[in-house]
């Protein structure tokens, strides 16, 4: 009885990895973590870009500089409240504090009234 095999005829069990390792590097958990990090980076990047563009746009709006724009699209939308008219326009404006005098392109949509 002293030298008997505890598990005769079976392969030796594999050692288990630590619980933290299994949680962090398990298939689905790792995928979900990487997806969340990637998604968060896209959201933050988009937020920063939109915030910077909005700040530039409002600075231009507050400065009172007159700039010509080009109408690139017209839309008419009808619903139970009536008909609405929209134009999409594009313009370029100098970037503040840019030593090369580069322009930034803006595209905006605005509602207009038929008179």
pLDDT, tens digit, for every residue of 40-50? 998 888 888 78
Is it the case that residue 1 has pLDDT exceeding 60?
A: no
Q: How many helices (DSSP H) and strands (DSSP E) are in the chain?
A: 2, 3
Under 8 Å CB-to-CB from 30, ≥6 apart: which residues? 24
pLDDT, tens digit, for every residue of 80-100? 888 889 999 998 877 767 788
Residue 31 pLDDT: 78
pLDDT classification of 67: cutoffs 50, 70, 90: confident
pTM over 0.95: no
């Amino acid at each position: 009885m002293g030298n008997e095999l505890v598990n005769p005829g079976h392969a030796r069990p594999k050692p288990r990895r630590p619980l933290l390792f299994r949680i962090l590097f398990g298939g689905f958990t790792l995928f979900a973590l990487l997806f969340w990090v990637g998604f968060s980076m896209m959201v933050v990047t988009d937020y920063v870009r939109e915030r910077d563009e909005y700040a530039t746009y409002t600075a231009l709006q507050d400065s009172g500089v007159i700039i010509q724009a080009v109408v690139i699209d017209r839309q008419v939308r009808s619903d139970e409240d009536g008909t609405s008219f929209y134009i999409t326009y594009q313009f370029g404006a100098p970037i503040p504090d840019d030593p090369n005098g580069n322009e930034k392109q803006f595209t905006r949509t605005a509602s207009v009234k038929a008179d």
